[in-house]
Amino acid sequence: MNTPTEDRTQPKGPAFFGWWHAAPRSAKKALIAASFGWMLDSFDVMLYSLVLASLMADLHLSKGNAGILGSITLLAAATGGLAFGVISDRFGRTRALMASVLIYAIFTAACGLAQDFVQLAVFRILLGLGMGGEWASGASLVSETWPAEHRGKALGLMQSSWAIGYALAALVAAIVMPIGGWRAVFFVGILPAFLTLWIQRSVEEPEVWKKARNTTASTFSGFAELFRGRLLPLTVVLTLMNACCLFAWWGFNLWVPAYLSLPVTQGGVGLTSTAMSIVVIVMQAGMWFGYITFGFVSDAIGRKRTYITYLLVAATLLFLYGTTRSPLVLLLLGPFVAFFGTGYYTGFAAVTAEIYDTRVRSTAQGFTYNAGRVASAAAPFTVGSLAQKHGFGAAFAVGAISFLLAAFFWIWIPETKGRRLSDDI
């Protein structure tokens, strides 16, 4: 079987799709598995934000309590990401991927059974464990099976599936909620569990991981490796940068559906559930193009320059979005906010994969992503509380500032474009 650096098959078909045809079959299967896992992760976790207004009324939750539920989900996701990063390095990418998908699918459905705040909190915590685990294992699986020159594109395609999952969640909410209510929407979340059957049968572990496991020099050293020598400052700054990105993203995206659907008297725009779903679906189109575009651009001009550009534009657009009340303007502005305010995530998996070696790659991706998520867990509660006291404009402005801070931390992050993972072993 070809390793990422050995495959030099000439691209077939149109140049735009040549990178896909050049990859070995095992790499394509790995990308499909990780993409579906990430898509369905998004589908399950974002159902909460889409039914939030109805759920708050039914369970008598304040904006603060609703924000707390979002925050504890992110804390649980951070824990799951850290744990599954280690599991992925020690026992394999595909095993970790299957376990995480199964966990988040089961407990998303369980959310539909919750009768009060405490029960819902327990189910959201358990859901978060699986949600956090999927990214670390999936990102490592794709990073280690694709050639360096196409890694950004492959990870862009994987990351873009989040937008598809979010859009599917909005579509399901629009169809199911008027018929069966918010509980029925959560019950649909069990469907991703069936993905694990295909992963078990069809997806192989990456060759680079197998070699690392069979090399005596690759003895697993855990989290300590991330804080030794030259890796210490990189681990710290990557975590801080990602924390700012995640804070802005979750603070905005978890509250956008509620912002659009809450009555004007409560600081919202006052859209119907159907109109809100349409606006959210249109936003996901922009998000998808942002993910895909980032992969191609960063492979061409570099991770760093592309990342900083996306973050600076995102900060500007998010501030404008929070000060707008016109449904038409929000509909038009939304895809651009999503394009720049989400597309940069494509680069994070590539940068971390290219900085850390195979022995600790998944552990590093799990730590830098999910330790950042711990800090960002304050975002849903912070935005909810600020929206309650000062309105959504002030609340979303905090997210814009967070994007600016993320761009600032890139001063200390090196360019990694073109680094080949096989050099690590």
Do the beta carbons of residue 235 and residue 244 sit within 8 Å? no
**Rg, the chain, Cα only:** 20
In a domain, 4, yes or no: no
**pLDDT tens for each residue of 93-147:** 888 888 888 898 899 899 999 998 999 999 999 988 888 888 778 888 888 888 7
**pLDDT tens for each residue of 226-283:** 888 888 999 999 999 999 998 998 888 878 888 888 888 887 888 887 888 888 889 9
What's the pTM? 0.72
In a domain, 237, yes or no: yes
Contact residues for 87 (Cβ-Cβ < 8 A; gap 6+): 95, 96, 99, 133, 137
What's the pLDDT at 385? 84
What is the Cβ-side half-sphere exposure of residue 183, based on CA atoms within 13 angstroms? 8
* CATH at 362: 1.20.1250.20
In a domain, 128, yes or no: yes
Q: Is residue 200 very low, low, confident or very high in pLDDT (cuts 50, 70, 90)?
A: confident
Q: What region does 62 belong to: left with phi over 0, alpha with psi -120 to 50, or beta?
A: beta
Q: Is residue 5 very low, low, confident or very high in pLDDT (cuts 50, 70, 90)?
A: very low
Across 57-80, average pLDDT: 84
Q: Is residue 309 very low, low, confident or very high in pLDDT (cuts 50, 70, 90)?
A: very high
φ, ψ of residue 284 to 5 degrees: the values are -65, -25
Q: Is residue 25 very low, low, confident or very high in pLDDT (cuts 50, 70, 90)?
A: confident
Residue 63 has pLDDT above 70, yes or no: yes
- Which range marks the domain in which residue 124 is found? 24-420
Across 315-340, average pLDDT: 91
Residue 424 has pLDDT above 60, yes or no: no
The per-residue pLDDT of the chain, averaged, comes to 83
In a domain, 56, yes or no: yes
Contact residues for 354 (Cβ-Cβ < 8 A; gap 6+): 148, 151, 303, 416, 417, 419, 421
Number of domains in the chain: 1
In a domain, 9, yes or no: no
